[in-house]
C-alpha cells in the first residue's frame, strides 16, 4: 500500500482555519485520498475524500496538489469539537482488500 506521512500533532485556536497536511509521494494514479477522524472515546468517522480535484463538504475541504503527491485537509473554522486524531488514508479501487490502513495520524489540539 502507498504510504502517507502526517505530522504527529498540530495545535490551533478555536474559530480559526486549520490546514492538516498529508504527504503521499508514492501515490498511484488510481488511489483515492480519504480522510477519517477519531474524536476522543469514539470510533473513527469519515470526513472527506477525493481523487484529483479539490472537494468540499459540510465538514471540511480537501485540497489536492497538482502532482497528487500531497494533500491538505482544511477545517474552515475549527471548534473545540474538532479536536481529534485525523487520518489520511490512500485507497485503491478494486484492490479486493477493503479494510482501511490507518497510520498514526495527526493529533489536532484546539485551544479555546
Binding positions for another protein, rule: CB under 8 A: 32, 34, 38, 42-46, 49, 87, 91, 93-94, 96-104
Backbone angles phi, psi at 81, to 5 degrees: -70, -15
Q: Minimum distance from CB of 73 to another protein (Å)?
A: 16
Q: How far apart are CA 17 and CA 90, in angstroms?
A: 24
Q: How far apart are CA 71 and CA 97, in angstroms?
A: 23
Q: Minimum distance from CB of 44 to another protein (Å)?
A: 5
Q: Minimum distance from CB of 98 to another protein (Å)?
A: 4
Amino acid at each position: 500500500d502507498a504510504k502517507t506521512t502526517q505530522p504527529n500533532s498540530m495545535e490551533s485556536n478555536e474559530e480559526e482555519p486549520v490546514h492538516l497536511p498529508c504527504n503521499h509521494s508514492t501515490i498511484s494514479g488510481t488511489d483515492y485520498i480519504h480522510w477519517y477522524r477519531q474524536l476522543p472515546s469514539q470510533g473513527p468517522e469519515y470526513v472527506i475524500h477525493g481523487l484529483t480535484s479539490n472537494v468540499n463538504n459540510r465538514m471540511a475541504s480537501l485540497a489536492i496538489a497538482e502532482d497528487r503527491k500531497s494533500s491538505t485537509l482544511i477545517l474552515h473554522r475549527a471548534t473545540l469539537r474538532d479536536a481529534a486524531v485525523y487520518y489520511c488514508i490512500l485507497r485503491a479501487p478494486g484492490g479486493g482488500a477493503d479494510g482501511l490502513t490507518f497510520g498514526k495520524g495527526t493529533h489536532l489540539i484546539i485551544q479555546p
